[in-house]
Structure 1
Amino acid sequence: MDKQKILDEMNAKKRRKKRLIIIVVVALLVIISASALNIIFRYFKYDEYKKYEVKSKTEKGERFVAVNEDKPDVEGMVLVSENDNLKLYTNLETTEIAVYNKNDGSITYSNPQDRDTHTGTGINASNLSSTLAVTYYNKAGNVATINNYDMSIKNGQFETESIKDGIRYIYTLADEDSIASIVPYYISEDGLNKVMEKSSDYDARTVKGKYKLENGTYVLNDSAKKSKVGMEKLNKIFEKAGYTEEDYAKDMEGHEEDESLSITIPLEYRLTDKGLEATVKAADIEEHGNVYISQIDVLQFFGAASNKAQGYILVPDGSGALINLNSGNQATAYNQAIYDIDPVAQNYVVIEETECARLPIFGIKADDNAIFARITAGDAIASVNADVAGKLNNYNYAYASFNVREKELLNMFGVQGSKSDIPVVEKSLYKIDLSVSYSFLTKDDASYSGMARTYRKQLIDEGILKETNQSESVPLYLDIIGGVEQKKHIMGIPYEGVCAMTTYDEASEIVDNLYDSDITNLRLNYQGWFNGGIYHDVADKIKLIGSVGSKSDLESLNKKLEDKGGKLFMDVAFQKVSHESKRFTSVLEASKYYSGYVVELGATDPSTVRQTSNLEWYDEMIYYMISPKFLNRYVDKFASKITKYDVSGINLTDLGSVLTSDKKRSELINRQQAENIVIGQYEKLAETKKNLMETGGNEYSLKYVSDIIDAPTSYSAYYIIDEQVPFYEMVIHGSISYSGEAFNLMDDDLDDDFVLNCIEYGIAPRFTLSYKDPSKMKYTSSADKYSVLYTTWLDKAKEMYGNINEALKDVDGSAMINHEKLDNGLIKVDYENGKTIYINKTSQDITVDGNTVKAKNYLKTGGTVNE
């Protein structure tokens, strides 16, 4: 009995142990499953970003019929449509267009009308007769560029359709020997029999004679491929038999490498209330023959100026810049990406420091007329190109190009030389609209000032800019450095801590000092106030830095500012996520290259000029680009929490200045989709009722912000450029308050010339300040801010503010309607409220109509000089 009892107890223990193991295993499986499900739904199945997707819609075309007109205003063309100001004409044989301006009788052509006199040959000559150029890769990774004149127009390979207020040309860019695109080079026996059964006996014999059976598949013979007449005949037989493009695709599957190049691409023209809109519907592009389109150039020579014309090309570099017509400048042609280069596509090596093109515009002034162009769709994947006459052709021209598919260079291990990097091209074309809108300016408006007025009016009409922003004084912008990340130690053990450079109480002391000097229109941007410092953790929650101050301290500072008409903005980055961020899973949430690697960037190492450095100790300076897929989630959480803080506004350090795609293979988000997502986040942040300030100021963000810092106030000084102009400022002045770089962090001397430049560009003063000595930041990621001690700069800030405010306070809320450099060297800036400011940057006094402007000084008048 005792033995049996012992055995029973042992078996009971085994059963309990077994049950425990099963329970533990089940619990682990449940935990693992829950974790797996959480990962799946949190990262892989998350698709909230798709609600911001904008889908392209194509209007059904009709048979084109020209509008009857007794006496056309454009010789050799037929009338397509007209409105109160313009007439659109086209030549149905060459597909070129012309716009007739009823206001002054001027005509703008898509192609130079005297191009027959051009002395160039080859593609440089045929480009002048084209309206589209396409750059593509083939299966081997080789790149080539073709135009629609050589590959379509001169062979009559296009169709014409009527659309509302315009016309659509559908071009087939193909080798001349392969224009019959539905005749398959390979076809199954069943497929061939179906065609023959639905054909006459004669046609069936013709078809059968052109194919030979090889390994169970019928193959079109070489002699048939080379016969243009024969291929056209075959094409008619196949069409008559009901053979479709779908049948063609099915039969050619697996044999695409044997197809000849063939691209079908539509180009639409419409008259609008703004002018002419030219659009390529990328969703309707068809590619055959292992063709991978990477770039499309639209209307390269629309409004091109002759080699006799006087004027300039306006380009969007920085604040704006001019390229003089026929300058003889042999420098490299102008090419600049709108909104800067996509971080996912840019090179690690920083070749040069350049300004960003924040506005998707360009223009051409030639003699008494001008055209102003604005990229209205596809702007995030667009570039502006421009060049002067005398290099490739006899014309000065500017146009937009669109990167509809990106490539990556992958390094082949063990391979040296030019073959070590091979291009990997994205699989799918971006199915979005690509549009350029052209406005036609007559004599009184034919200048960069007129272009700025035209653009500003468009933005106001669209509700992007407000018409006025009344103010009795210009703002003084102050970046206040709060908490800075710092390596600290406890008993020799290192840890990441925060050094409080300016507490809220100390910031309040700085504000009081300015109030004592009657400076009240303050805009404070508080840097390093939450989540660990300036290079903060992701903004999914708000954790104030205790050493900087409490919530009540923060709100007390805000109240002090608002009581006097100022504003307190809290600095936040959403897209650049520090390497030190603890709540961010880079492998799942960061943007990726097409190859699958995570985008990880950093500071520029001066020894290697690679922008991947932490400068040896600043780990937080390495950052990831958050995927647009997950941007919505973080903005959602921040927006719900910032409303609990009584502060005037938010400063968006990267939302309006950086635009990144995500090339992850399974869910590629192109840059245009990313722009739509970012706009959605601005809408959401606007709903918090907080004022929005931003750093940078790309066009798509202007609708939502009251203030811009780091607005473009300089330019890149490319060799092709002749002059900088304040085009950006002319567009937003009077609607959005702005400043450029912090004065005390610039290389420029803060002298009379600097002040005059600020007055000319309408730039409000800005300083970056800390209460404590900046030596405390020596071994931190903010070490570059070494000249920010408020006691050093406060008097200078007051002086600079006094000088600039005195000049601009009467015009701060008024539009800048005209800017020009007079022959005597004076710069004249006219404002909508009737005020004029003359700026004299020369070393001599200058008198204009009885008004003397002293050397290195300015003069304000109540109206124009001729009143």
Structure 2
Amino acid sequence: MSKIKKAVGYGCMAALLFFGIVPWVIGEQKPADGSERFHENKEDRAISYKINSYTSPETKHAQIAARKVPDGYKLAAQSERLELYMDNAMKSIMIKNRQSGYVWSSIPEEEGLQQERLNEEWHAALRSPFLVEYFDEQSMLQRGSYLSLESTTERVEQVPGGIKATYALQKLDVTFTMEVKLEDDALVVRLDDKDMAENGKAKLSSIQPLPFLGAVLKDEIPGYMLIPDGSGALIRFQETHPRYDQAYDGKVYGMDHAAEYSDLRSINEQPILMPVFGMVHGTGQNGFLGIIEDGKHTSRIIAYPSGVNTNYYWTSPKFVLRYAYYQPTSKNMGGFNTFQAERNHEDRQVRYIFHDGRDADYVGMAKTYRNYLKDLDILKPKSVSQENIPLHMELLGLEKEPGIIGNTMVNMTSFEEAEAMVNELMNQGVHNLSVVFRGWDEGGLNGNNPDKFPVAKELGGEKRLLELKKSLEEKGVPLFLFADYTSAYGKNDDFSPKADGIRTISNNVLSDTYYLWFDEESSSDLTVYFINPKLAAEMAKSDAERFDQMGIDALALGKTGSLLLSDHHPQNKMSRMQAAGEYEKLAGSLLGKMDHVGVYKPNDYLWKYSSQMFEMPLYSSQYMFSTDTVPFLQIALHGYVDYFAPSANFNANPQQYLLRMVEYGAYPSYKLTNEPSWKLKNTLSNDMFTSYFKDWKGEIASTYEKMNAVLKHVQDATIEQRNVLDYGVVEVVYSNGKKIIVNYRAKDISYENQTVPKMDFILAGGE
């Protein structure tokens, strides 16, 4: 797909999202009690503050009455904070919070079910302890539940902290076990792969355990669901809403393009970097955070808003066991539909951590996830405190331009010019820089990968690169060389696409072709293959030795941090779980030789290896059913690792983007070139349409000065509270007592005897 086509498509999608979302979001959110603090600015409540790219104020609600545990349920286990109840056949469970008395149930209340006009399928599903998808004898995907599949509970046995049930799906001749147990403030649900038996012709495609835990009918309970879309998003419970066409189906760590068909560059979705989801029953009253622990690499987060099939809001993990695919049998694309013969052999486990009181909201969930990662030694306190915040400066050196006969190289930034650019910014007051240099080798940015050497002579060669590295090091500026261990551009560095490239589930070599011109027929420029993760880890280990010998101590990983693919090569199959393990080895071997490893949009399994995180999402995908965007990701990370926003010089509204970066505690980033951007018009980097350093240096210095004035005081602190005081006015409270108040409005507002200017922010609180 051409970049022009993509731009038009994205523009249309943005327009559809905006005009589709606005009519439903406006008026459906009730104003918070705190909104009266800004009554003098009611006329300023523009529509832009109420769309789902922002967060709405919370409304105080009366205490939600707890459900009663029916007489037919028996106590199966208890911990210090929770009690677990089950019916006789473990078709449903209840969890009681011993401190608050609140009760969570895996099935909705019977009164609501009776009132709803449900078809037979959903009548059975809402009363089921699980939902399954399976392939029948004709390879057609079907759905079923406990009742519809004529299931029985063969056995219920006691296990430490809980119970384990064996279910027999008589209609499919399938059995599997589900274990539920308590661990302090958490419910752990586990499906062991070894206990699963498929004896009939039908084969399982997916399982959703306890899908209706905490399900809510329309807005009978105030609250929302949390989904890990980009920075994070909420789906609030509403009485009136559109009739949505589909639910949220979030693929954890993105789509597996080796198993699921898609255009690799046509999907305009924010990434899912964390396997989490959540539910709140009354903000500040009751909630839970779900964390997928095992089986996460082939899992999805499902969230149904009211209006899709039923009037219930519900969310759950969906564990994928098999994929459907099309198997070609001839070159003219003849073939047949089939499915993965061998299921993904992985255990599956999800942990539900329950909240009450002040922590029962998305902020409390993010703090819980932060503590969870700390306990696993994934997040660690920063070893060095800095006086000023960093600014990410990404430079493009060499790029290739295809011609009628061969390629020519376009020199955009030499090593000498890079040093001059850094010096100029530092002289203008940018005190702390982090520099990534892309296109530093002789093949340019889109040249010879996985071969990365030698250093491009056009840019000054290896000697000048090392001089640049030393000069920046003396200024306290790390120089990251960009490296990609995922993409391969044909046969080079002994890479063979057929032998070393990732194979799809239909045993084809996975590839993607980038087109320079308007349509595919005009000019096919670059075919990209994908490196087997095990080979990638070996390459990185070898490269680390060579970089170490050169004196390079910082690398920045591109697609390797976020693109996770399985490999279906007949002689070397690899699951996504195994691929993630290889990428961990890869990052570990680099970090063993490097002082810094930066990663672009890293999935959470690479967070422990990431010295800095680049292009972290500040928005959600803004689906129709999402009502709010929230900084769940940033609340979890702030104070433990430096994370940078996507490039500010490619944002359509610089002032609002500045406010979003400050509010989310994200540091600024810019993609820059020493030469004018028009020189890239005939290259695959023609999307860098505004990268000319001379055009941006003043704006960069000004933005940095504004952001550094407030963020430098909280860069090592954690985010402890985030209060939306009214539409377009946000207070962020840090662990050191500092508060940042961001005013998106077009008029000044008052805050604790201070004035927050329009479209601006202030620092308050603390010593």
Give the TM-score normalised by structure 2. 0.85
* Letter aligned with residue 188 of structure 2: E
Name the counterpart of 1:635.
540
- 1:520 alignment partner AA: H
State the AA in 2 paired with 1:402: F
- Amino acid paired to 1:140: Q
In 1, distance between residues paired with 2:553 and 2:299?
A: 35
Per-residue deviation, 1:391: 4.2
State the match for 2:162 in structure 1.
166
Q: Quote the residue 1:659 is aligned against.
A: 564
Deviations 1:758-805, CA, capped at 9 Å, x for gaps: 211122111111122333333222222232121121111111111121
CA distance in 2, matches of 1:815, 1:335: 31
Alpha-carbon distance in structure 1 between the residues aligned to 2:748 and 2:466? 50
**C-alpha separation in 2, matches of 1:501 and 1:654:** 22
- The reply on whether 1:521 has 2:521 as its aligned counterpart is no
Give, in whole Å, the separation in 2 of the partners of 1:433 and 1:615. Answer: 48
Higher mean displacement: 337-346 or 448-457: 337-346
What's the counterpart of residue 380 of structure 1? 297
- The structure, 1 or 2, with the larger RCO (C-alpha pairs under 8 Å, 6+ apart) is 2
In 2, are the aligned partners of 1:410 and 1:424 still within 8 Å (CA)? yes
CA RMSD of aligned residues (A): 2.5
Whether 1:856 and 2:759 are equivalent positions in the alignment is yes
C-alpha change, 1:772 and 1:757, in structure 2 (3 Å) is same
Contact 1:74 1:89 in 2 (8 A): no
Matches within 5 A, 1:433-582: 433-468=347-382, 470-487=385-402, 494-530=405-441, 532-539=443-450, 542-579=453-490, 581=492
- Aligned pair in 2 of structure 1 residues 109, 292: CA closer, same or farther (>3 Å)? same
The code of the aligned residue for 1:509 comes to A
Corresponding residue of 2:716? 813
User: 2:540 aligns to what SS in structure 1?
Assistant: helix
1:278–1:436 CA contact under 8 A, matched in 2: yes
> How has the CA–CA distance of structure 1 residues 580 and 483 changed in structure 2, closer, same or farther, with 3 Å as cutoff?
farther
User: What's 2:17 paired with?
Assistant: none
Which residue, 84, 91, 100 being the options, matches 1:88?
A: 84
Confirm whether residue 353 of structure 1 aligns to residue 349 of structure 2: no
Find the residue that maps to 2:216 and give its secondary structure. Answer: coil
Matches within 5 A, 1:121-132: 121-132=119-130
Deviation at 1:130, TM superposition (A): 1.1
Counterpart AA for 1:429: R
Match of 2:525 in 1: 618
Question: How far did residue 360 of structure 1 move?
Answer: 0.9
Name the % identity: 25
CA contact (8 A) 1:730 1:816 kept: yes
Q: CA deviation at 1:90?
A: 1.8
Aligned to 2:726: 823
SS in 1 for 2:597: strand
Give the drift of 1:294: 1.4
Query: Counterparts of 2:423 and 2:522 in 1: how far apart (Å)?
Result: 38
* Residues 800-835 of structure 1: per-residue CA shift (max 9 Å, x gap): 111121231111221122223113642111111111
Q: Do the aligned partners of residues 281 and 540 (structure 1) sit closer, same or farther apart at CA in structure 2, a change above 3 Å counting?
A: farther
Q: Secondary structure at the match of 2:720?
A: strand
CA distance in 2, matches of 1:817, 1:145: 42
Q: Call closer, same or farther: CA 1:78–1:558 in 2, change over 3 Å.
A: same
Mapped to 1, the partners of 2:569 and 2:83 lie a distance apart of: 46
Give 2:192's aligned residue. Answer: 281
Equivalent positions of 1:176-325 (< 5 A) are 261-273=172-184, 275-307=186-218, 308-325=220-237
Distance 1:774 1:317 in 2: 32
| Residues in 2 aligned to 1:145 and 1:607: alpha-carbon distance in whole angstroms | 42
Provide Cα deviations, 1:204-223, integer angstroms capped at 9, x if missing partner. xxxxxxxxxxxxxxxxxxxx
Match in the other structure for 2:11: none
- Answer yes or no: is the 8 Å Cα contact 1:542–1:638 preserved in 2: no
Q: Secondary structure at the match of 2:619?
A: coil
* 2:588 pairs with 1:675: no
Contact 2:232 2:633 (8 Å CA) reproduced? yes
Residues matched between the structures, number: 691
In structure 2, the CA distance between the partners of 1:309 and 1:73, relative to structure 1 (3 Å rule), is closer
SS at the partner of 2:458? coil
My pick for the range that moved more, 703-712 or 288-297, is: 288-297
1:640 match: secondary structure: helix
- Structure 1 Cα separation of the partners of residues 335 and 643 of structure 2: 44
Q: Secondary structure at the match of 1:513?
A: helix
**Equivalent AA in structure 1 for residue 426 of structure 2:** Y
Q: Is the 8 A contact 1:326 1:396 kept in 2?
A: no
Q: Which runs of 5+ in 1 are unaligned?
A: 1-71, 176-260
Q: Does 1:768 align with 2:765?
A: no
TM-score (norm 1): 0.76
CA contact (8 A) 1:603 1:615 kept: no
Superimposed CA distance per residue, residues 383-436 of structure 1 (whole angstroms, 9 cap, x where no aligned partner): 1111223543342111111211112124577999xxx77322111111101111
Is this contact kept in 2: 1:362–1:384, CA < 8 A? Answer: yes
Distance 1:673 1:75 in 2: 46
The ranges of structure 1 where at least 4 consecutive aligned residues each deviate by more than 6 angstroms after the TM superposition are 412-416, 604-608
- Aligned partner of residue 507 in structure 2, secondary structure: coil
Written as runs of structure 1 = structure 2, the 5 A alignment for 1:599-748 is: 599-603=510-514, 616=523, 618-619=525-526, 622-746=527-651, 748=652
Distance 1:694 1:639 in 2: 16
1:118: Cα distance to partner? 4.5
Query: Does the C-alpha gap of structure 1 residues 414 and 531 become closer, same or farther in structure 2, counting only changes over 3 Å?
Result: closer
Are residues 668 and 398 of structure 1, via their aligned partners in 2, closer, same or farther at CA, if it must alter by over 3 Å? same
Q: 332, 339, 349: which one pairs with 2:253?
A: 339
Say which SS state the counterpart of residue 592 (structure 1) adopts: coil
